Amino acid sequence: MQVVAEKTLFMQKAIYFVSKLIASRGIIELTDRNLNFQVSPFDASFGIRDLSVDICTIRDIRIEGGSFHPKVVVIDAESEYEFVLSKGQELYDTLKKLCSHPIEFDPGKEVHETLKQCSCNRFISSSYRYCPWCGCAL
């Protein structure tokens, strides 16, 4: 059995838009592997479930709205997720760096020069022959 510890990079209260008419309150957590949203107990009583998005499946990230409570939009292969939180810019910046540099990501360090940029705009270790996200040859 292998035990893997995830490192929490960001955590804050947020609102998740389940649909255009339904929103849920809870806590958003960004780890080095996943973006998690834990629904508040009150909203969970209405059947809204927790959410977990694998960082490797994220295709695009956008930030919309003002600086007070911006909306962070995360798009993966299956869905589009919208979160509103006061530190939205911080979440966006950290998530953008993490998705761009998944192998060598460290919030306090610069990316090493041993990375290559793939045609899918991800930085891949020079030890790889193929991109683990899009499959193209490096």
Which CATH number fits the domain that encloses residue 32? 2.30.29.30
What pLDDT does residue 12 have? Answer: 94
pLDDT band, residue 1 (cuts 50/70/90): very low
Domain enclosing residue 38, as ranges: 8-100
DSSP 112: P
> Is residue 15 one of the residues assigned to a domain?
yes
Lowest pLDDT segment from 50-54, 66-70, 86-90, 134-138: 134-138
Pairing, β 71-76 against β 58-64 = antiparallel
Are residues 134 and 87 located together in one domain of the fold?
no
Are residues 71 and 115 located together in one domain of the fold?
no
- Of 94, 91, 85, the closest CA to residue 16 belongs to 85
> Is residue 39 one of the residues assigned to a domain?
yes
Are residues 32 and 87 located together in one domain of the fold?
yes
The C-alpha atoms of residue 15 and residue 11 are separated, in whole angstroms, by 13
Is the per-residue pLDDT at 110 higher than 60? no
Number of domains forming the structure of the chain? 2
pLDDT band, residue 128 (cuts 50/70/90): low
Is the per-residue pLDDT at 42 higher than 60? yes
- pTM of the shown model: 0.69
Are residues 20 and 88 located together in one domain of the fold?
yes
